[in-house]
Amino acid sequence: MDESDWLAERFEDNRTHLRAVAYRMLGSRSEADDAVQEAWLRFSRSDTSGVENLGGWLTTVVARLCLDMLRARRSRGEEPLSAHVSESIVSREDGIDPEQEALLADSVGLALLVVLETLDPAERLAFVLHDMFAVPFDEIAPIVGRSAVAARQLASRARRRVQGAGTVRNADLTRQRDVVEAFLAAARAGDFDGLLAVLDPDVVRRIDVAAVPPRASTEVRGAQAVAKGALAGSQRARSAPVALALVNGSVGVVVAPRGRLSRVVTFKIRHGKIVEIDVLTDPASLRQLHLAVLEG
């Protein structure tokens, strides 16, 4: 085995852990992959012969990269990324490789990701590294450019915010779920009045062009029209397996006949009423979604 192969093997032994760290830091799988790739480039160019704890060294490199990315995001005035959840447990045609399965098994919850997005970059790093990966504060301190005591305080502040805000987010998701479940139940039962009860009078339903005949309208407006469409759609799809899911951070519905994702329905809810419904069927669009099937 030549040196390049040896380096690559050592890095691959740590890749899953590094992706998990980066994902929790950044809340985006694509950005996490970018950070891990950059860590590989730095590793391949560095002399690590004297490094005793390679995993710790690589974790520090990834953490620094993520901290820089978070700070750059904030300095540009970007809105926080929407909280992403790991890939759906619904099967995809291209499957999930063993590394991805390991990452999924250790995936961070939606509510926590949402709260992490609100933290200062240094707070987020201290909390993620210490509370999720048990990195000592004396190792975190030089990454954030502070003392170990200050790093501990950063993690403590972040922990209080996580504990305080998580309950609010979970309550919001519970309310969303109640409304979506009421919509589904009414549609399945053929209950027109039940549908009207959860639809805003000015509700809009959109469906992507992949699911409608040529030149047909992709948008329906008004509670009456949307309710009629929901009843008709429910009759056509009565035998298709339907499950509640978190879709890019909000409660939605997935349809997966024979275990293959074919349709996703998302909802925008305001004051307990559904104001927007989006139906996605285009395979390219579905592959861009971040889903997690809800239990129960």
> Where does the pLDDT of residue 80 fall: very low under 50, low under 70, confident under 90, or very high at 90 and above?
very low
Question: Does the pLDDT value for residue 65 go beyond 90?
Answer: yes
Question: Does the pLDDT value for residue 14 go beyond 60?
Answer: yes
pLDDT, average across residues 92-99: 41
SS3 label, residue 207: strand
* Domains and their CATH numbers in the chain: 3-170 (no CATH), 172-293 (3.10.450.50)
CA 292 centroid distance within chain: 8
**Model pLDDT for residues 142-178, shown as the tens digit of each residue:** 999 999 999 999 999 988 877 765 554 566 778 888 9
**Model pLDDT for residues 102-128, shown as the tens digit of each residue:** 444 344 554 566 667 778 899 999 999
- What confidence score (pLDDT) does residue 83 get? 36
Compute the residue count for the chain: 296
Q: Burial code of 254-268, b = ≥16 C-beta within 10 A, e = fewer?
A: bbbeeeebbbbbbbe
151 C-beta neighbours (distance < 10 Å), count: 27
Question: pTM of the predicted model, to two decimals?
Answer: 0.53
Where is pLDDT greater, at 216 or 156?
156
